[in-house]
Structure 1
């Protein structure tokens, strides 16, 4: 072993000795958060899963196909996330010290990969076990089939970890693999006869109630084979890619610790690369058309980000339709739809954020600030309306739900989220008054207040999603949240300078 390798190992061990106290504090905080926050959520999920409505939802004829689609989405997401933030991740200094030695990557980066894989595998195993236990407790599935599906859930987690590492080791091939998986997944959903020939089809065939043991064995065999290939994949990791991912993640965590989540998310935004020679600003007879073309061209210069936004809007529309089904948790789906719609508006509102930024200074374009903001609202409003109307109409036709109520709910939620985006763009930096401690008998609530300030837009989007799903039952909630959002947005607009 070379002297450089021995020095790297000494640094690694010294860092581990120095951070024992920090790790203990992190473990303590993790258990505190689990007890205070995760425990009530887990109890609510457990009660919903073992209720009559939950068992009926899991036992529906479409459940195996939906499970296969979810597995495809998880694996595709793992491939794409691996391009930006893979499981083999260490701090920048350790990454440079260990990646430039002659030690194999399978030894130096095995720890973070195993920890990340354990979290993913535990999550998928718990989800599969929850579904299997719910069906078995109602007598809708045999205990052996329930146990086999839980094992398949663990196999899905192992495969997800392997795909996550594949995305990190082969970042250029991750996108074609993801597109191919999505195409095959759609074909499997359309043609159930192809399930025995695809890995996600094996998960559908192992679903409790079907309980194919051959599909279970095939999924577990694939997981074992991919687990055996993890050392080879780790050895294919390049020093440049490891260093770049470590630097980005370190910067993002620093900004997130300071509750600057917008800057942390901007670190992972792709740089514009398509259509750079395409002219964005084109003088037209109507100024609104000029701004619309400008925002449209700007969005298409990051096609991956634009596609992700459209997919998020489509998913939000589908969830809104499902909230009007009789046996679904409508409030939970509405909150998720609100957050998903707010997220999907991100790639469409770059011009809106630019307008909010320049509105705090002297006018740059010879028009008023309000006129500038209004012109930049045209593109996201048009795109959101087109995507939501299409998604809601198709999903309502497939599920047999009346299209008018979910369409009204979706369009209302889109307008509320646009107001939330405007308000969030005008928020500005953290107010010094929020840095003061707030002593209470339960402790200092200053950190909680600052956290709520940092994620207020997401919380408001979730509440708006709930109110939009209840638009026909209790419209007073929608009126209240709309009034509050408009009041905050107007207040921030008046204080923008």
Structure 2
């Protein structure tokens, strides 16, 4: 970093000077969080990965192919994420001051990019090391092969950071490139002969126990080449785009601090830009068809959100099917499927959020609040059921898993998650009573209660997914989760407005 850039950033940081006491408290807080939260969580993750179910999952013949798909999806996600929130980002004022100056952006925005790269690379390295460590621990892979795969995980993190920056520098090209990467990843997983010729294929070939670890040299060369073009990419960043991303991220952070996650997510919803000339309101003999067509046409005006939502639903259908495969952690895959379904319904439920926002006020359409909500729920219900069931049927045929149980679980999971979405839309602002301190011998639990309230939709969706996967083994759990979801939704509906 040049002296001019360092001086400018130093002035910005000098606004809030930390005393010795502040730094000591920060160190104390980090240590306590590491001991109380991080260490037990890391131990639980390792025990799960080293268990029989975890080892069976990592040692399955499909694991290298799934790894390739994950890597391709990760790089595609980085490209798409960069369009809305890139790694090169300062606070709004500092972003404007530095980007509007004559200083090169490769110098002024180096710090945020390096921090983002370290974070992403650390996460991918830990995941790869977890997989490799589990296999090496059980003697299913050589230590050298595990170390090579861990190094490949680190390089995947570096490439992900570069892809993230590419999406920020070239937002218009990010979407087609991301779709191309994802399509090639699927093709490579389906055609093994393509693996030596694709970067995600190299990662799959470096999987522990594959015996082709030397291919990581090509991945290292690609990583070094992409890292070399990072300064060029940073210098291409646009001032207006940087200012918009910085202001939006600052607003989202403020909403997140207040635990208003719905508003924070709404800031990143795409604006309708396609099909504005298509008529959405088409009167039919049955009012339900009018609402169904209206919501369907409205969703196509943001095609990116619609595609992501449908893809998420399809992925959750695959997960809920694999949850019924032998020697797999069904509850874990089911919980992941529930979370993905909850996220996938989001782009489809704009009508539900509208109905929830006007519920309790004077009727706008000459129908009751109940009918308005029910009519707006038709489109997401139809899409969720069709996509989930289709994904389950296709995955069952390809994997040879009996289709009946996954089909029933996917159906009820879609219904329960839709109920969770409706309940989340009716939640409203944070109740003031939750601001009351809750003193206990372990400390004040009010923050944990508020966090649980803020994330109750995700928690209930994960529980719904886990219970749906275990519905035939532990039916009481499924019944309890279903009753809880319905009760919470009814209670919020009664207290709407």
Shorter chain as denominator, the TM-score bin is: over 0.9
SS at match of 1:345: helix
Structure 2 match to 1:434: 434
- Equivalent in the alignment of 2:188: 188
Question: Using the alignment, how far apart are the partners of 2:52 and 2:493 within structure 1?
Answer: 48
Shift of 1:36: 3.1
Q: Where do residues 129-208 of structure 1 align in structure 2 (5 Å cutoff)? A: 129-208=129-208
Partner SS for 1:274: coil
> What is the CA-CA distance between 1:7 and the residue it aligns to?
7.1
Alignment match, 2:223: 223
Is the contact made by 1:87 and 1:112 (CA closer than 8 Å) also made in structure 2?
yes
**Residues of 2 paired with 1:284 and 1:22: CA distance?**
66
Structure 2 equivalent of residue 449 of structure 1: 449
CA contact (8 A) 1:349 1:380 kept: yes
**C-alpha distance in 2 between matches for 1:410 and 1:27:** 46
Residues 358 and 324 (structure 1), Cα distance of their counterparts in 2 relative to 1, 3 Å cut = same
Map residues 45-444 of structure 1 onto 2, 5 A cutoff.
45-444=45-444
CA deviation profile, 1:352-396 (whole Å, cap 9, x unmatched): 111111112011111111111111111111111100110000111
Distance 1:304 1:210, change over 3 A: same
**Separation in structure 2 between the aligned mates of residue 398 and residue 335 of structure 1, nearest angstrom:** 22
Counterpart Cα distance in 1 of 2:300 and 2:350: 12
Which segments of 5 or more consecutive residues in structure 2 lack a partner in the other structure? none
Shifted more, 2-11 versus 89-98: the winner is 2-11
- Quick one: distance in 1 between partners of 2:303 and 2:171? 17
Distance in 2, matches of 1:463 and 1:294, equals 32
Contact in 2 for aligned 1:125/1:150 (Cα 8 Å) = yes
Displacement of 1:214: 3.5
**Secondary structure of 2:269's partner?**
coil
Mapping of residues 6-17 of structure 1, within 5 Å: 8-9=8-9, 11-15=11-15, 17=17
Contact residue 5 and residue 101 of structure 1 kept, 8 A: no
Is the partner of 1:273 in helix, strand or coil?
coil
Specify whether residues 277 and 454 from structure 1 end up closer, same or farther in structure 2 by C-alpha distance, changes over 3 A only: same
Does structure 2 retain, via aligned residues, the 8 Å contact 1:149–1:211?
A: no
Residue aligning to 1:471: 471
**Structure 1 residues 315, 6: closer, same or farther in 2, change over 3 A?**
closer
| Rounded Cα–Cα distance in structure 1 between residues aligned with 2:87 and 2:19 | 21
Q: Deviations over 1:130-182 (max 9, x none)?
A: 22222223332222222211111111111111111111111111112111111
Over 3 Å counting, the alpha-carbon distance change for 1:250 and 1:131 in structure 2 is same
SS of the equivalent of 1:221 reads helix
Offset at residue 40 of structure 1 (A):
2.7
Following TM superposition, by how much is the alpha carbon of 1:19 offset from its aligned partner in structure 2, in angstroms? 9.2
Change (3 A) 1:99 1:286: same
Give me the whole-angstrom Cα distance separating, in 2, the residues matched to 1:48 and 1:5.
46
1:39 positional shift:
2.7
3-state SS of the aligned residue for 1:279?
A: coil
> Could you tell me how far apart the structure 1 residues matched to 2:290 and 2:108 are?
54
SS in 2 for 1:264: helix
- Aligned mates of 2:99, 2:243 — CA distance in 1: 9
Distance 1:402 1:5 in 2: 62
1:164/1:22 CA distance change after superposition, 3 Å: farther
Instruction: State the TM-score, normalizing by the size of structure 2.
Output: 0.95
Q: Is the 8 A contact 1:337 1:465 kept in 2?
A: yes
**How much does 1:193 deviate?**
0.8
